[in-house]
Structure 1
Amino acid sequence: MFKLVSKIVLFSMLIILLFGCQYDADSDVNFQIEIPSKISPNIPLVIKTNFQYENVEIMLDGDEISPSSFMNVEETGEQGEGAINSNGIYLKNLHDGVYKINIRFFDRKDRIITEFATNITFDLTPPKPSYFHQELSAGDLNLEYKVDEEDFSMVCLYYNDTKLASSNSFQDSFSIKLEKDSGIKSYILQFKDDVENTYNHTIEINTDVDKPPVINSDIVKVNLFSEIDTNISDDWDDNFFVLIDDGNGVKYPSDLLLSQTTDATMIVFDSYKNKTEKFVTFNVDKQIPTSPEITTRLISEDLDYISWRYDPNYRNYIIERYDEIFGWKKVFEEKNTFLKNPNYDIIFVRKVTKNGTYGLPSDPIITLSEAFVPYASGTISKIDKDRKSV
């Protein structure tokens, strides 16, 4: 009899405990509910609450929806009072746009615990580049993009399943070194927004194809040393053999210095003997620029700037210093006729033509310590007088 009473008491206590754990609809609870402001087919509607519930009813713009799947998301707090519990619901078969969302929370007895209403954006449109350019130049595959969508988050470059690079900039570029005659190479640029919508841009390059070079310039500059300044692009080369056909035969570029030719056909070969031609205009230097006139040849270490006289025929100047290994070496290139004192022992200035011909060097600009400047200046002045009297 005692055992029977004990069992009845235990059973009664279990029932009291079970029903005591049920939610009391009349209790005063500070409900906390959080949902994201934007979701997509790839990002679930994560509902975070500080209370337990059994089921939810979701309505978008007044229509009840059935979640396509249900998933548990990692909880952000421990179970108990004040904890935030998370559940995720994937919503699909929706259009892009803003929806008014109503959520009802139910307990185990299908009683309404509370309701929640707000606006939510559903986004299923991936970001696409507004500008994309690809170029194979001298064996380098150069990719450049620009994205205008504000919700763009990242772009990744893949070769097969291997991620080669990534960027979160709205405008950027990638460069890939390719091996010639290695077959067809396929790459993917994957653009992603802030809710995991993705757009794949596929790039295929046949490395077995070798195209002729392209002459991009209409005007070709030739300096006094027969060096050509022109824009030539090629898929696998950056070294070219150039000839000129002026109608009287095929010549080397150096022959332009001895002729009056201004228009002729430019012939370009790459190292694989691919050939291209274009009729262009030649701008040829015929004489070397004169020496710049230096305003001060002897300067002290504490002088702020050095300068030379302006020549309207030249816009560029180079400054050279002496290097024990390389000899005279260019250290600066200026468009101005002055330079902040670099405090080198000795420098020269040269004029530079638009075609790249370096002119004769100026008188040397010598930097001495302050103690020697008066004596050295007198010596240079005396040398000038002696030179003029000769």
Structure 2
Amino acid sequence: PNYLDLDSDGDGIPDSVEGVVDTDGDGIPNYLDLDSDSDGIPDSIETAADADSDGLGNYIDLDSDGDGIPDAVETAADFDNDGIPNFLDLDSDGDNIPDAVETTQDFDNDGSPNFLDLDSDGDGILDLIETSADFDGDTQPNYLDLDSDNDGIPDAVEGTADVDGDGFPNFLDLDSDGDGIPDIIEGTGDPDGDGIPNYIDFDSDGDGIPDQTEGYFDFDGDGLANFLDLDSDGDGILDMDEGDLDVDGDGIPNYLDLDSDGDGLSDADEYDWNNDGIFDDDCDGDGIPDYLDPDPCNTDIPQGLSPNNDGLNDYLVIPGILRHPESRLQVFNRWGHVVYDSQGPYQNDWDGRPNTSGSFVLDGDGILPNGVYYYILTLSSTEPAQTGYIYLKR
């Protein structure tokens, strides 16, 4: 009988300890109640120990470990298999973040409360890795922060890789590829289509010049930062063609130099001086495009012109003439009359039509008759004029 039994309910806790008090108010005195605090955990499991030293034995303590989470919620399960049941475990999921910090909130709505969730914010990065630190100072601890470094790129995208090997995983690295351009500026775009987002791409625009070299200022003011601009100086020549060498040694790399060879002629004028739509003109045939070649071109005037719209010799094209901004071309017929006068820099655009009054015109089509014409070509006021003959064949 109970009056002779030192442990009437057989829970391992002496009746003298449990007493006749009815802690949970269920009408059963503790010494006869198998779950004196009605937390769903038998007294035989909780025992009379006082885990949190609050003066209450676990069997009558609704929060035996004092972590702010009721034992009824934590239960006697051992989530992290560390040998300590959750209701006595200060870190039930073993992520090094105390249950008292994580609480019973279910931040990512996955059905697991944070204190039992190995990835509380559901970003694919374990709480154990993220920790409870607040890297970006936004009052949201990393393990609950979807963008721990506040660079505008979700942690779920950045991940735990350390692209630049600086010891900071990408999700905590403000410059994940270490190119000197913050991730918040580079973003996740992929303009060069190489499958690597800009924030971890060492050459975001794929022009062969590293982002670290190009930087994020906008040299030509076109709204595109150099590291995303295929033509950083806006001269019409792609950066990948100009490269980052400094041909003229002026301290400005070619891709930012409006006159890469320092010859006084802009790259924009030199790269297609004959206006044939084929870039990288090389007037002296030395394999170096004119815009990178400081050597002057010979201005040898062709001896023939056939303006018949067949695409061959329809215009009088003088190699290298566009390198001479003071040039002037005059053409005379056999009687000494001026039939053409560029009246300024010659642009390789004479097609056999006169532009002076009184010139002889055949059949009213605007083109001079077949014959030999005399020319005077002046390159500048300091150079002697060149003279010779051109045969015009319609």
TM range, normalised to the smaller chain? under 0.3
User: Which has the bigger relative contact order, CA under 8 A and spacing at least 6?
Assistant: 1
TM-score, length of structure 1 as denominator length: 0.25
Q: In proportion to residue count, which structure has more helix? A: 2
TM-score, length of structure 2 as denominator length: 0.25
